[in-house]
């Protein structure tokens, strides 16, 4: 058995270091058994020593700023250049889809090394007849690399609680909403959009998915109502700004736009009520196995997933949302979905939690819940209102005026007191005026026909 990682290749070694930067739990697990001399290059050895020394003192991986300071202490220009080039590769591989495999393999390698060293050191103990010491040494080697992360150690982890990277969020693309959510939705969290039928839930979810793809994220969009080709066309509209009716005349423009997108999008259709959360998990597993782990999941929409038919409808739906959030936590992926609001919400200016259809328990499960209201007047003026019902990351009870173009699926949300927010609120009154004119004209026409 080799004492170095050279048999695994240079890329593997770089990915192993990348994993230590992005996964604190993995670093904590391996810190006591990984040795810098296992790595081939002098630059990798330097980087690993910095990681281990920093973690031993601060219980967190070093940031880029820490590395910049440490690099200034290097007097060897050749080594400094090599380290800078190596760090570029490390940062490039931080989002590799096979990091879990790399972590498992290097843990196995380091554990085997510990057992080998224990056996070698036991030779002299055996000659001396010191069997108790041999047992202690072998037992210690067998336990090496065990998961030592017992949880968040409150007194020791003050700095870690306030790290900028404490929540690795995927933004929604709307600054005002991202600010309210402290950056967006993070792995393991569930975001829910609530609205009556025909208001624009699907369009809004597509906006969130499209923004993630623009950011370079991998997105899986599960559709349980619209077929996947049609959903793909809606993404085309949101990403290009071209109206849905005109897409077929701009295929070349759409194809050119695809080349500039940094992320990947997979749209998977399941017929309504044909699959549940277990079916989604099976598809996610398949995607991970093929090297395409998603960074964001969109489910359009959860109420159309298959539920446990033996339970009361309200209980079954509540269980379903709990399973969906559990899925988000299990795979460490943020999940967005939508929920139907009751028919009585159609003419509400602001839709509150009590208007959610079927099960109020769905509200309790969500980390972030926002309603979308669009009355007849709003449809005429191209406006609407987003209302933050629940927000575990910041303030709730906030109503945001919005501009909505259902021709190309563009949504905009504004703070009420900004210039754009005030203009949008004023624009809502235009829709009210149009409705009044239409009613007056109908009344006039009706009077004329009676006469």
> Which is it for the CA torsion 271, 277, 278, 284, positive or negative?
positive
Ordered by where they begin, the domains of the chain are 6-156 (1.10.860), 175-438 (3.40.50.300)
**Statement: residue 117 has pLDDT above 80:** no
Q: What is the mean pLDDT of residues 417-422?
A: 91
Rounded to two decimals, the pTM is 0.67
CA distance 102 to 83: 21
In this structure, the strands spanning 190-195 and 368-373 are: parallel
Reported as half-sphere exposure (CB side, CA atoms, 13 A), residue 48 has a value of 22
Buried b (16+ CB within 10 A) or exposed e, 258-286: eeeeebebebbbbeeeebbbeebeebbee
Reported as a pLDDT band with limits 50, 70 and 90, residue 147 is: low
**Statement: residue 164 has pLDDT above 50:** no
CA distance 269 to 46: 49
Widest Cα–Cα separation across the chain? 120
**Statement: residue 396 has pLDDT above 80:** yes
CA distance 451 to 62: 84
Print the SS3 string covering 17-45.
Answer: HHHHHHCHHHHHHHCCCCCHHHCCCHHHH
Decide: helix, strand or coil at residue 372: strand
**Statement: residue 443 has pLDDT above 60:** no
CA distance 91 to 189: 25
CA angle in degrees (0–180, nearest 5) for 263-160-367 = 55
Q: What is the mean pLDDT of residues 179-204?
A: 92
**Statement: residue 450 has pLDDT above 60:** no
- State phi, psi for 219 to the nearest 5 degrees: -120, 135
**Statement: residue 145 has pLDDT above 60:** no
200-252 pLDDT, tens digit each: 899 999 999 999 999 999 999 999 999 999 999 999 999 999 998 999 999 99
Q: Considering the chain, what percentage of its residues have pLDDT values greater than 70?
A: 84
Q: Which strand ranges, in their side-by-side order, compose the sheet holding 264-269?
A: 264-269, 218-223, 296-300, 335-340, 190-195, 368-373, 383-391, 399-405, 410-413
CA distance 335 to 347: 29
Q: What is the pLDDT of residue 152?
A: 63
> Which is it for the CA torsion 247, 251, 252, 258, positive or negative?
positive
- State phi, psi for 114 to the nearest 5 degrees: -60, -40
Q: What is the pLDDT of residue 56?
A: 86
Q: What is the pLDDT of residue 179?
A: 94
Lowest mean pLDDT among 101-105, 279-283, 288-292: 288-292
CA distance 207 to 338: 13
Question: Residue 276 pairs with which residues in a beta bridge?
Answer: none
Q: What is the pLDDT of residue 92?
A: 86
Of the chain, the end-to-end C-alpha distance in Å amounts to 102
Can you tell me which residue has the tokens 């003419």? 347
Q: What is the pLDDT of residue 133?
A: 67
Q: What is the mean pLDDT of residues 132-159?
A: 61
Mean pLDDT (the chain) is: 84
CA distance 396 to 119: 60
16 with 106: CB under 8 angstroms?
yes
Residues 6+ apart with CB under 8 A from 283: 220, 222, 268
287-331 pLDDT, tens digit each: 887 888 899 999 998 999 998 767 777 788 888 899 999 999 989
Q: What is the pLDDT of residue 3?
A: 65
Lowest mean pLDDT among 83-92, 150-159, 376-385: 150-159
**Statement: residue 165 has pLDDT above 50:** no
Q: What is the pLDDT of residue 431?
A: 57
Q: What is the pLDDT of residue 399?
A: 94
**Statement: residue 144 has pLDDT above 60:** no
Reported as half-sphere exposure (CB side, CA atoms, 13 A), residue 267 has a value of 20
**Statement: residue 34 has pLDDT above 90:** no
Reported as a pLDDT band with limits 50, 70 and 90, residue 111 is: confident
Q: What is the mean pLDDT of residues 11-17?
A: 90
């Amino acid at each position: 058995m080799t004492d170095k990682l050279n048999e695994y290749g240079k890329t593997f070694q770089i990915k192993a270091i990348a994993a230590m930067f992005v996964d604190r739990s993995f670093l904590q697990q391996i810190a006591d058994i990984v040795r810098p001399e296992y790595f081939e290059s002098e630059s990798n050895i330097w980087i690993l020593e910095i990681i281990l020394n920093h973690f031993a003192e601060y219980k967190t991986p070093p940031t880029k700023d820490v590395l910049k300071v440490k690099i200034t202490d290097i007097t060897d220009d050749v080594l400094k250049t090599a380290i800078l080039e190596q760090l570029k590769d490390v940062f490039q591989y931080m989002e590799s889809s096979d990091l879990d495999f790399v972590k498992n393999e290097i843990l196995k390698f380091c554990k085997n090394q510990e057992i080998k060293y224990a056996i070698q050191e036991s030779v002299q103990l055996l000659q001396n007849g010191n069997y108790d010491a041999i047992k202690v040494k072998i037992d210690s080697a067998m336990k090496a690399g065990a998961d030592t992360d017992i949880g968040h150690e409150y007194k020791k982890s003050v700095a870690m609680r306030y790290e900028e990277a404490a929540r690795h969020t995927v933004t929604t693309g709307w600054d005002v909403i991202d600010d309210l959510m402290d950056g967006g939705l993070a792995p393991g969290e569930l975001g829910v959009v609530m609205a009556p039928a025909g208001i624009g839930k699907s369009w809004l979810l597509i906006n969130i998915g499209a923004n993630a793809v623009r950011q370079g994220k991998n997105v899986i969009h599960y559709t349980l109502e619209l077929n996947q080709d049609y959903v793909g066309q809606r993404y085309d509209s949101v990403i290009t700004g071209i109206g849905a009716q005109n897409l077929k005349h701009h295929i070349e423009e759409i194809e050119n736009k695809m080349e500039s997108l940094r992320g990947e999008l997979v749209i998977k259709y399941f017929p309504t009520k044909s699959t549940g959360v277990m079916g989604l998990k099976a598809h996610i597993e398949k995607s991970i196995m093929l090297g395409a782990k998603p960074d964001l999941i969109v489910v359009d929409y959860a109420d159309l997933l298959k539920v446990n038919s033996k339970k009361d409808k309200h209980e079954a739906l509540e269980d379903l949302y709990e399973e969906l959030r559990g899925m988000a936590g299990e795979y460490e992926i943020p999940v967005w979905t939508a929920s139907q609001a009751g028919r009585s919400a159609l003419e509400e200016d602001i839709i509150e939690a009590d208007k959610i259809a079927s099960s109020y328990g769905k509200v309790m499960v969500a980390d972030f819940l926002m309603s979308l209201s669009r009355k007849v007047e709003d449809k005429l003026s191209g406006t609407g209102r987003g209302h933050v019902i629940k927000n575990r990351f910041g303030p709730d009870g906030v109503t945001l005026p919005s501009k909505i173009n259902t021709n190309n699926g563009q949504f905009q949300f504004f703070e009420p007191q900004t210039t754009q927010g005030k203009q949008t609120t004023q624009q809502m009154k235009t829709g009210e005026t149009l409705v009044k004119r239409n009613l007056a004209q109908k009344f006039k026409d009706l009077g004329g026909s009676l006469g």
